[in-house]
Structure 1
Amino acid sequence: MANNVIDLRRPTGEGCGCAACEKLSFPPVELAADAELAARVPVVPLVADAVALARWTGTRPVGPEAMLPEADAARAVRELGLRPERLRLLWVVAVNTGLLRITRQQAVPGPFTFGKGVEATLEFWDGVVMDVLDRADEGLTGSAVIDEHLAETLATVYSVRTGVSVPVLAKGILQSHEVACGPYKGESILRELTSALELLAYCGLVETTGEPIASGSRIRLTPLGTWAVRQDLRREGHDAPTAAQVRVFAELDASELVAAMVAGGVTPSAVASWLERRSPLEAARALTAIAAYGNAGERGAAGTVLDELGPEAEGPLRAALTEPLLWRYAASWLHIRDLQAPSLTPDDHAWLAVDTLAALLYLSDAPGTLGGLDEDLPGLVAQLPSVDHPDTLAVLDLLASHHDDQVVAKAARKAAMKARSLGPLKL
């Protein structure tokens, strides 16, 4: 594992900032059965205490901000054996998840019970975790640094199934904080992290791989923590598949995989799993055979997988240099890996640009608007009418109607008119 924690924040430097640029891919995880997970929820210490607090509260007046009055809060802490600093979190969880309901300045029993079934219980648990993570903005752990990087920290632990050493995790948080926010001004990030992990264990999210949480232990997500963090990652648009989902794609042949990619149903982790089941030569031979005779969408999908292969796949790519629709891709693939290949002319690069854009015509999940494709796109568009590609005109029409930069759209409309006027001359 890298020393730095995973960065889930929006990019602040280079990049277009689109959803595709922000999306991260996480390794597949094995999830416990829903029924097993649901059975674990009531015994999570945080949940058990929230249930106890709701029962203790019953029906009684609430104070400002819909919280327990100070005297009642002190009594609840004393009678239920709660830690005072956790009472606010418990109250928020109880109210937001339906254990309690606030109406007319009083708390009353809420509608949620654990007898409503597995799905309702997991939905309840999802709400509990969202409440916990939302409290990071209010000082959940007592450490401003840990709170700032809480989501990234959980994502890092999620990505390492065998657990993460607490000192290594602390070092990663510190490095990420110093890069993003400046020098750390606290006394001990390791001590702050250890305290935060104790709270997260109380919340049912993490556990140690052996001894109690301490500076020398390793930390991992609980089964419920894995389920909840995956839910959160998927809400944020990241690729976080289950092992079962990935196994389905790993068993497809190359043509089925490419078809699924064009249809928009394949994640990067599924592609990685597919490649793990095959030798580089086997994968490259199958993919180049499809790309050589397929449409631009199929070439783009196959090319995405071929990009994951190293020089050991050279043979099939070198053989593809004889294919009219694929040789430019093959030459580029070889050049990138410092392997001998024919040089590409500006016209060849323009052809590749058309083919890349043409892939959008075939993809089921193509964006509704186009933007950030190339900083010199107006200049490129002017060259496209002379590009001998079967989809040139369709690409120009696509840019004219869907690009969000009016300069590009106008240039594409003008180029499309020129391409149509040149059409008969190419017969």
Structure 2
Amino acid sequence: MDDAAVLVPPVKLPTEQELAEQAKAVPMFGYALALARWAAPHRTVDEFGDLVEEDRGPAARLLGLAPAEGEVPEEAEVEALRAWSLACDLDLVELGTTKDGEHVAVPGPDLEPAEQGDPDTVLELWLTAAGIVRELAVEADSLPEEEAGEEAEEGGEPTPEEGGEEDEDGLNEVEEARDAAAELLDEALQVLYETTAFADPGNETVPLGVLAALLVVPEGEEPSEELLGDITDVMVALDPMLGDLAELGLLDYRPIDPELFDEEEGEEPVVGEAPLDEEESARFGLVRLTPLGQYGIRQWLLEDGYDAPLVGDLAQGDAAELLRGVCESANVLPEEELRVWVAGREPLPAARELLAAARGDDAYGPLRRMLCVSALNLLGAEAEPAVREVLDDPELGGSARAWLSALGATDVPVPDRTMALWTVVDTFAAQLLDSGGDAALLRELVTDLPVKGDPAAWFGELWRVDHPYTADVLEAIGELHTDRAVAKEARKAAFKARSKG
């Protein structure tokens, strides 16, 4: 993966048991397990460890790739050989030689726990398989077309022509092409990972053209004609590699319709030249990262030194640990962490715990209180008794009143002036601290401030509020307010607050 400093968003993953079941359901992985079992107690192989000629047809039939009777298609035997090769690479079968010099294969020690569905064994094997396929996909993409075809047929590495010397320049070009293909695939997988993390359930599928555009077009720019051509080139390069990864269950992939590249057309299509309907757009390729794919890419990210958290990582402790963790983490989905924490908890004691954890005049205090209100919203009306208990709390009383009013309560007492002004500062400070807060929301808060017709008097009260963020809030109001007179009074008040501090 790219080693640039990036924040990888948290993802949701099924349990390891569920992931292991999904891995065993992947056809190519299941084929490898089946052939490893078929090798018991031992099976004769050739000197390279491949199935001997007379076993290839039966292996294809065993896997359901060929009919039980009649001739076995060549492509079925090739598929069986690929599955056997994977079983060997995963050590599901081990190769050896008998006393008589016969080459044989026997089941490896991981076969039985994998067949029984041991999550650690299955996922370790699947991840190894995914890594092998990933490398082979890059290898194939970096070869000249003729060599790639020959290698696919022969199942081996490209070699210099017999009697000739290695062409050093040619090898360097292949190496450079391999590195470029690996970098492109890694970037594409990371973008898919991040896109999937933020996608609403059911909307994880990404058009291949969109994925390519995310890799090619600088953020905030519209694609130029030249970039449209680059997008098409990236799509063409990714297409076979994503197809290979789909075989191991990392992706659900609909490849580019080969008819789009009909030689009779005389030129390759360029994505983005004209609006396309949904079906026409799908012909350019669709890709969806599976839960297994998320698991695999996350493991690769962790191996490369990235912080790749899971949703719920911060929700394992008490309310104080939850709120502190969410406040201090840069790559976090706050609402998801809160949702995991409240799930299964009794609403009333959970609300009391959250409210207690929200107190404090430290740097994160305002943000903790904002998160507390969000968690109370998830708990719902059953949290009301706990909220009413803090109505007179100087730090929580204002937001408690607002929460009760939003709930529909009609008997909420009006806060005194000190509490009301303190809550204004605290609420605005929370938005300033929230890394997810946007300028539009801050401007809305500024516009809704009860300055009325006498900003000097209102700011004259506000700068005296005993809150650690009073001056910061006043400075922000001075920058954001569209009324020049109000903005000027806010800046003057900010200066007084700083002087007072």
Give the TM-score taking structure 1 as reference length.
Answer: 0.52
How far did 1:24 drift? 1.6
Percent identity between the two aligned chains: 21
The 1:102–1:68 alpha-carbon spacing in structure 2 relative to 1, beyond 3 Å, is: closer
Residue matched to 2:241: 196
Residue 47 (structure 1) aligned with residue 29 (structure 2): yes
Give the TM-score taking structure 2 as reference length.
Answer: 0.45
CA distance in structure 2 between the partners assigned to 1:25 and 1:208 by the alignment = 23
CA distance in structure 2 between the partners assigned to 1:273 and 1:153 by the alignment = 25
The 1:331–1:111 alpha-carbon spacing in structure 2 relative to 1, beyond 3 Å, is: farther
How far did 1:149 drift? 1.9
Which amino acid in the other structure matches residue 233 of structure 1? Answer: L
Residue matched to 2:109: 111
Residue matched to 1:402: none
How far did 1:220 drift? 0.6
Q: Is there any run of 5+ residues in structure 1 with no aligned partner, and where?
A: 1-7, 12-21, 278-285, 352-387, 390-427
Q: How many residues align?
A: 305
Residue matched to 1:260: 325
Residue matched to 2:9: 26
Which amino acid in the other structure matches residue 194 of structure 1? Answer: D
> What SS does the aligned partner of 1:239 have?
coil
**1:228-254 CA deviation, whole Å, 9 max, x = no partner?**
333333444233423x557x49x997x
CA distance in structure 2 between the partners assigned to 1:154 and 1:78 by the alignment = 37
The 1:157–1:327 alpha-carbon spacing in structure 2 relative to 1, beyond 3 Å, is: same
How far did 1:76 drift? 5.1
Please give the residue correspondences for 1:15-414 in structure 2 after superposition, counting only pairs within 5 Å: 22-26=5-9, 28-29=11-12, 31-52=13-34, 54=36, 58=42, 68=49, 80=60, 81=75, 91=85, 93-101=86-94, 108-113=106-111, 114-115=115-116, 117-135=118-136, 138-139=139-140, 144=178, 146-158=181-193, 159-160=195-196, 161=199, 162=203, 163-175=205-217, 188-208=233-253, 215-235=283-303, 236-242=305-311, 248=315, 257-261=322-326, 266=329, 268-271=331-334, 273=336, 293-294=361-362, 305-310=433-438, 311=442, 312-314=444-446, 322-323=465-466, 325-330=468-473, 333-334=476-477, 340=487, 341-342=490-491
Structure 2 contact 45–105 (Cα < 8 Å) conserved: yes
Q: Is there any run of 5+ residues in structure 2 with no aligned partner, and where?
A: 61-74, 98-102, 144-176, 259-281, 341-354, 369-429, 451-458
**1:240-296 CA deviation, whole Å, 9 max, x = no partner?**
423x557x49x997x66543357x6x563233657999xxxxxxxx9xx957x22x5
Which amino acid in the other structure matches residue 207 of structure 2? Answer: S
**1:358-384 CA deviation, whole Å, 9 max, x = no partner?**
xxxxxxxxxxxxxxxxxxxxxxxxxxx
How far did 1:170 drift? 3.2
> What SS does the aligned partner of 1:233 have?
helix
CA distance in structure 2 between the partners assigned to 1:183 and 1:77 by the alignment = 47
CA distance in structure 1 between the partners assigned to 2:106 and 2:141 by the alignment = 26
The 1:194–1:257 alpha-carbon spacing in structure 2 relative to 1, beyond 3 Å, is: same
Which amino acid in the other structure matches residue 24 of structure 1? Answer: L
How far did 1:47 drift? 0.8
The 1:75–1:90 alpha-carbon spacing in structure 2 relative to 1, beyond 3 Å, is: closer
CA distance in structure 1 between the partners assigned to 2:95 and 2:45 by the alignment = 9
Structure 2 contact 130–245 (Cα < 8 Å) conserved: no
Which amino acid in the other structure matches residue 172 of structure 1? Answer: L
The 1:227–1:275 alpha-carbon spacing in structure 2 relative to 1, beyond 3 Å, is: closer
How far did 1:187 drift? 8.7
**What root-mean-square deviation, in Å, do the aligned CA atoms of Structure 1 and Structure 2 show?**
5.4
